[in-house]
């Protein structure tokens, strides 16, 4: 690329190095600090994956136990955050609630303006621990339900579901949720992470960078796609008593019609992976387990029908948001809450990148090619 060549959307441009994750479209693989993501999803608590992303190594048993103690003692919904959320309408988008909550947490953090590595790690851990209560509180207030206090005998994933639904969830459900958290945690220089890095590159603070990242994640071309996938399913119509075959046929017809109208269908395609998203097989397996658990074969029909029709027409593969959306639906989350779940997970990757950017900073400021009017004189001059 010459110095002046323009790359719209920065497609194909390498902006910096990172040691946090490796997205490899050739081998269709994703490594977090060298470990295949599917191996982490098969064996690690989400707390251990967060630690890995921040520090570069999996925690020892003692480190994990200490971090889990910290996480459990920082779970309760902050009173000021609760007040701020209560000022927001119950029909605003839950991503606005998440964005506001992080902003309030930043404004009230005693080390808000301390960007030392120790303070950054402390803030990342506290944010990781605090965010599930924001999602759970917001989900419940929208349903007119009282908040549920965290339980410190449950791990991150089990407690997240407990605070949201007020009932302990079966092991299979907790595990599928944990898997989704591990898979959503990190993906190199995606739009929201890049936003966090741009903000950090001005030497702004961690909570500002995460708040900006949430804004970038909200859009349907990025994290908002998991919500949009469910809107597609809802538009097609979810009929619990329908056979898998009938659901697939209706979904296929819907997709053919959408593509004939040149619509973009969320949950398909990816800027980096052109041959399938490395995380989809693991997330799809978790979805299959949920479909089995809840006895909802018609959901599989909708899933398969859309995927097959897209493959036939355009050979475009599903991305992670495609299996994640129906998984969260089956667990009982409202559709609008899906992208805040992505925030809860990606806080780990964002904050790891914020620390990496700060440790080796250069202001991120690309050039633009001007295509406005030539220099001209003011009228009457
Ligand atoms: C966790 C995540 O954030 S994963 C991404 C989540 N986002 C989505 O699911 C949104 C839907 N997908 C898309 O919009 C795109 O695939 C993106 C934005 C993710 C990546 O796009 P890009 O690499 O910029 O490719 P681009 O959008 O230019 O697509 C290339 C071609 O494939 C088509 N295409 C790509 N994705 C889709 C889709 N989901 N539905 C229909 N057509 C699509 C485009 O229309 C375009 O066709 P054309 O060349 O005939 O104009
Ligand atoms: O990498 C991307 O562009 C989007 C994505 O899949 C992610 O952030 O998980």
Q: Which atom of ligand 2 is nearest to the CA of 186?
A: 9
Q: Are residues 91 and 205 in the same domain?
A: yes
**270 lies in some domain:** yes
Provide the residue range defining the domain that includes 134.
Answer: 19-219+336-359
Please tell me the residue having the least CA distance from ligand 2 atom 2. Answer: 190
pLDDT single digits (tens) 168-179: 999 999 999 999
Q: Are residues 106 and 180 in the same domain?
A: yes
Backbone region of residue 224 per phi and psi (left: phi > 0; alpha: psi in -120 to 50; beta: other values): alpha
pLDDT of 74 over the 80 cut? yes
Q: Are residues 324 and 352 in the same domain?
A: no
**313 lies in some domain:** yes
Q: Are residues 131 and 272 in the same domain?
A: no
Number of domains forming the structure of the chain:
2
End-to-end CA distance of the chain: 42
Instruction: Please give the structure tokens belonging to residue 321.
Output: 């948001």
Please tell me the residue having the least CA distance from ligand 1 atom 45. Answer: 264
| Chain center to CA of 2 | 34
Please tell me the residue having the least CA distance from ligand 1 atom 51. Answer: 262
**How far apart are alpha carbons 251 and 260 in whole angstroms?**
14
Confidence band, pLDDT 50/70/90 cuts, at residue 305:
very high
Number of Cα atoms under 13 Å in the Cβ half of residue 269:
11
* Residue-wise DSSP of 157-178: HHHHHHHHHSSPPPHHHHHHHH
Positive or negative CA dihedral for 352, 358, 362, 366?
A: positive
Positive or negative CA dihedral for 128, 208, 218, 196?
A: negative
C-alpha closest to that of 238 among 247, 246, 226: 247
Q: Are residues 197 and 159 in the same domain?
A: yes
- Å from CA of 274 to ligand 1 middle: 10
Say which CATH number the domain at 274 has. Answer: 1.10.230.10
Q: What is the mean pLDDT of residues 252-260?
A: 98
Please tell me the residue having the least CA distance from ligand 1 atom 40. Answer: 264
Number of Cα atoms under 13 Å in the Cβ half of residue 311:
11
Please give the pLDDT value at position 5.
Answer: 86
Q: Is 344 in the pocket of ligand 1 (CB under 6 A)?
A: no
**How far apart are alpha carbons 224 and 209 in whole angstroms?**
19
Residue 342, helix vs strand vs coil: helix
- Å from CA of 115 to ligand 2 middle: 27
- Å from CA of 269 to ligand 1 middle: 5
Backbone angles phi, psi at 28, to 5 degrees: 50, 50
Q: Is 190 in the pocket of ligand 2 (CB under 6 A)?
A: yes
pLDDT of 268 over the 90 cut? yes
Question: Minimum-distance ligand to the CA of 221?
Answer: 1
Q: Are residues 187 and 315 in the same domain?
A: no
Q: Are 323 and 291 in contact (CB under 8 A)?
A: no
What is the rounded (10 degree) CA torsion for 278, 281, 282, 283?
A: 100
**262 lies in some domain:** yes
Please tell me the residue having the least CA distance from ligand 1 atom 26. Answer: 271
pLDDT of 3 over the 80 cut? no
Confidence band, pLDDT 50/70/90 cuts, at residue 274:
confident
Q: Are residues 50 and 179 in the same domain?
A: yes
Beta partners for 257? none
Note the ipTM here.
0.98
Q: Are residues 117 and 251 in the same domain?
A: no
Q: Are residues 126 and 268 in the same domain?
A: no
Q: Are residues 269 and 163 in the same domain?
A: no
**7 lies in some domain:** no
Q: Residues 81-103, buried b or exposed e (16+ Cβ, 10 A)?
A: bbebbeebeeeebbbbbbbbbbb
Please tell me the residue having the least CA distance from ligand 1 atom 3. Answer: 222
Q: Are residues 340 and 249 in the same domain?
A: no
**How far apart are alpha carbons 173 and 36 in whole angstroms?**
23
Say which CATH number the domain at 180 has. Answer: 1.10.580.10
| Chain center to CA of 236 | 25
Q: Are residues 174 and 153 in the same domain?
A: yes
Choice among 207, 222, 270, 329 that is catalytic: 270
By most ligand atoms within 8 Å of CB, the mutation choice from 263, 269, 272 for ligand 1 is 269
Choice among 78, 205, 277, 321 that is catalytic: 321
Q: Is 321 in the pocket of ligand 1 (CB under 6 A)?
A: yes
Please give the pLDDT value at position 2.
Answer: 54
**14 lies in some domain:** no
Confidence band, pLDDT 50/70/90 cuts, at residue 4:
low
pLDDT of 381 over the 90 cut? no
Q: Is 320 in the pocket of ligand 1 (CB under 6 A)?
A: yes
pTM for this entry: 0.97
**315 lies in some domain:** yes
**How far apart are alpha carbons 117 and 267 in whole angstroms?**
36
Residue 270 annotated as catalytic: yes
- Angle of the 338-359 helix axis to the 117-142 helix axis, nearest 10: 170
Query: Mean pLDDT, the chain, as a whole number?
Result: 97
**375 lies in some domain:** no
Question: Minimum-distance ligand to the CA of 193?
Answer: 2
Residue 93 annotated as catalytic: no
As to burial, measured by CB atoms within 10 angstroms (0-12 exposed, 13-18 middle, 19+ buried), residue 64 is middle
pLDDT single digits (tens) 194-234: 999 999 999 999 999 999 999 999 999 999 999 999 999 99
**252 lies in some domain:** yes
């Amino acid at each position: 690329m010459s110095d002046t060549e323009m790359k719209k959307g920065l497609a194909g441009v390498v902006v910096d190095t990172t040691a946090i994750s490796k997205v490899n479209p050739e081998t269709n693989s994703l490594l977090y600090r060298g470990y295949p993501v599917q191996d982490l999803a098969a064996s690690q608590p989400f707390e251990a994956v967060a630690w890995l992303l921040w520090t570069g190594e999996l925690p020892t048993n003692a480190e994990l136990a200490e971090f889990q103690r910290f996480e459990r003692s920082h779970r309760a919904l902050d009173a000021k955050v609760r007040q701020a959320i209560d000022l927001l309408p119950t029909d605003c988008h839950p991503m606005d609630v998440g964005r506001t909550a992080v902003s309030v947490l930043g404004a009230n953090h005693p080390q808000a303006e301390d960007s030392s590595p120790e303070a950054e790690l402390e803030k990342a851990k506290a944010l990781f621990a605090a965010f599930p209560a924001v999602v759970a509180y917001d989900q419940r207030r929208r349903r007119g339900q009282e908040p549920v206090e965290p339980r410190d005998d449950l791990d991150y994933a089990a407690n997240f579901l407990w605070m949201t639904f007020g009932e302990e969830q079966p092991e299979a459900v907790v595990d599928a949720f944990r898997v989704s958290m591990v898979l959503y945690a990190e993906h190199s220089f995606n739009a929201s992470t890049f936003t966090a890095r741009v903000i950090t590159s001005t030497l702004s603070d961690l909570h500002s960078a995460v708040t900006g990242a949430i804004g970038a994640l909200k859009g349907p071309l990025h994290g908002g796609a998991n919500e949009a996938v469910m809107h597609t399913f809802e538009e097609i119509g979810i009929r619990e008593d329908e056979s898998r075959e009938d659901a697939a046929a209706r979904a296929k017809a819907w997709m053919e019609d959408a593509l004939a109208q040149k619509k973009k269908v969320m949950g398909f395609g990816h800027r980096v992976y052109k041959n399938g998203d490395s995380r989809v097989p693991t997330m799809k397996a978790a979805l299959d387990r949920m479909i089995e658990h809840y006895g909802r074969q018609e959901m599989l029909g909708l899933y398969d029908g859309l995927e097959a029709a897209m493959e036939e027409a355009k050979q475009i593969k599903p991305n992670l948001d495609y299996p994640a959306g129906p998984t969260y639906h089956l667990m009982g989350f409202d559709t609008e809450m899906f992208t805040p779940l992505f925030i809860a997970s990606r806080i780990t990757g964002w904050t790891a990148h914020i620390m990496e950017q700060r440790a080796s900073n250069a202001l991120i400021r690309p050039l633009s090619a001007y295509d406005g009017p030539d220099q001209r004189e003011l009228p009457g001059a």
